[in-house]
Structures are given as structure tokens and as C-alpha cells.
Amino acid sequence: MRRVITYGTYDLLHYGHINLLQRARELGDYLIVALSTDEFNWNEKQKRCYFSYEERKRLLEAVRYVDLVIPEEEWDQKVTDVREYHVDVFVMGDDWEGKFDFLRDEGVDVVYLPRTPEISTTQIKQDLREKQ
């Protein structure tokens, strides 16, 4: 079984997220999504999510491409996750290009997928603010 892992916040789940998850799943047989916790988002990224961790987790678990959702609680857990979950492929959006190449030392394929250009959570939030 070829295991794939990806990381993200997945707030305001949209078709760009679905495109990424679908393409990630196509790289293997089992897709793990490490979902940023509320605490991690605030303490490390200074981001507040619209949906709580539990709500975002439920949304991701409902996506047919996703097999398992685990918490992302710190930046440095990636090597541990790769080992613990026997990951073969590490996937991120291409805005992270080169940032996780060190995982290749763990025997993992590192793939940066193009983002869906016309959609992002940031853009959705900005559009909503402008409509107010």
C-alpha cells in the first residue's frame, strides 16, 4: 500500500482544497491529512479559523479521497509522522516548493502540486469583507 500525507488548515473548505486532495490521493492508495489544530494555527501562524478543528476534521473525513485525519500540532512533526504512518509520498501545494525536500532523506517522495489559481481561503475571506 502506497501512503500519501499532506498538511493544511482547510478552513472554509473549497474546490481548490478538493482538487489538491484528489490529486494527492491519486499518488497512492491511502491519504492522510494532517490538519492544523486551532492552537497551532493561532500560536504559530497567527491565524484564526472560521471553523473549529473538530468541524474542519469532520468536513475532511467526509471527503472521499481522505482516509485518515490526524492533528498537526507543530512544524517539526513531519519527520515523526512520515515514520509513524509509514508514508511513501509527502504532498504540499507548490507555494511550499523546496521547503520540505529534507524529507527525501527519509526515503519519501516529495511532491509539490500546483494550486488551483482562482480560489483560496484568503480570497474568499477578502471577497466576503468587500461585500459587507
45 labelled catalytic: yes
The residue from 47, 57, 99, 131 that is catalytic is 47
Active-site choice (45, 78, 99, 125) = 45
Contacting residues for 105 by C-beta, under 8 A, at least 6 apart = none
CA dist 76 to 17, 40, 44, 63, 102, Å?
23, 12, 12, 26, 12
Who's near 72: CB < 8 A, 6+ residues apart?
Answer: 7, 34, 35, 36, 37, 40
> Three-class SS of residue 47?
coil
Tell me how far apart the alpha carbons of residues 100 and 47 are, in angstroms, rounded to a whole number.
22
Q: Which residues are catalytic?
A: 45, 47
